[in-house]
Structure 1
Amino acid sequence: MEQIDKVLPKYGENIVVGVLFKKHFEWYVAPKNLWKMDYKKLYAVWEAAYKKSGRTQAQLEKDIGTYEQFCDKRWGIEVLDGFTASHFLAHLFKCRYSSDELRLLRMVAHDDKKIDYEASMFIDFDSNTMYSQFPRPENFENFVPIGWRGEHRSFMSLIPDDKRY
């Protein structure tokens, strides 16, 4: 199984995401594009944007691929939810961080890089809820699966005390 190598947080690129899955909490740092939960919705947004700007489906497919190719960038996972989370998280195994690691890295980071270590999202697979505090116009909450609730709000108070950093 292909695993992504561990990366450092980088604002707007590699984001810090808290995940609660089967009552177990972990922090992950991975490219932000992987965390748009419903790729069907995301691809539809791309299609609409291309159409609105007068570009063709062929141009879209040249730039970002067909829908299948687009999903293949996330191991064929179209919708990230409770049914696919285990498969998705297995690919991110090396991307896990402890709260102590994140705390230390943020502490030693230059002042202009501390924002890189702010948590961007909290995905609670146990209650089908996703919280994003990533700055607008990035709307992760618009890409939650059907039956999920997505909110743009602060969520650190929802993180277990021993996992906060």
Structure 2
Amino acid sequence: MVNPKYAEQVLVGIQYKNSFSWYLGDCEMWYLDYNEAGYLPSEYEKEREGIPILTKDTVDAFLERIEQNKINTEDIKRKFLSELEENPNDAIYDYRPCFLVDFDNSIFYSQFPESISFEEYIPKDWKGYFQKFYENVPDKFRYWQIDGKNYFK
């Protein structure tokens, strides 16, 4: 597993078909509507080639392409704890999830740490929010809550 890196390699929660998963990838891959974001077809990430707008209709192909980016919650937790011991400040920044994409309800949540508004570049029938979304993540996937301590308060 590649480690998350602040504002570059980001952790993303995906809610789809009543199932939740974590993925790690380049932040640019998570503009749901590349057209709205001003991307040209030649600029698409290979994972998004032919998928300029990521919706319920295109997500299956996309998730198949990024299967290698899927991360088990326990693996994230183990690496997060290890990083906390070595470099606590970096761990808090690097391992904070940036996006939650809820394909079941057509909602995109962003808490991207830089001044890029990913939540504005979404399909027309979606809702986008810039806000903390930790409480929207199912309990068993909250790798930042360890032994009763919440590291992302």
Counterpart of 2:3 (choices 8, 17, 22) is 8
- How many residue pairs get aligned? The number is 138
CA–CA distance in structure 1, aligned partners of residues 41 and 82 of structure 2: 41
CA–CA distance in structure 1, aligned partners of residues 41 and 28 of structure 2: 16
Whether 2:75 is the aligned partner of 1:101: answer: yes
Instruction: Tell me the CA shift for residue 72 of structure 1.
Output: 6.1
CA-atom RMSD in angstroms = 1.4
CA–CA distance in structure 2, aligned partners of residues 138 and 91 of structure 1: 25
TM-score of the pair, normalised by structure 2: 0.85
Counterpart of 2:53 (choices 54, 76, 79) is 79
TM-score of the pair, normalised by structure 1: 0.79
Instruction: Tell me the CA shift for residue 99 of structure 1.
Output: 1.6
Unpaired runs of 5+ residues, structure 2, are 144-153
Instruction: Tell me the CA shift for residue 24 of structure 1.
Output: 1.1
The structure that has the greater radius of gyration is 1
Paired-residue identity, %: 30
Unpaired runs of 5+ residues, structure 1, are 1-5, 45-66
Question: 1:158 matched to which residue of 2?
Answer: 136
Question: 1:34 matched to which residue of 2?
Answer: 29
Query: Alpha-carbon deviations, 1:48-79, whole Å to 9, x = none?
Result: xxxxxxxxxxxxxxxxxxx2212364222110
SS of the aligned residue for 1:119 comes to coil
CA–CA distance in structure 2, aligned partners of residues 12 and 136 of structure 1: 7
Whether 2:16 is the aligned partner of 1:24: answer: no
SS of the aligned residue for 2:55 comes to coil
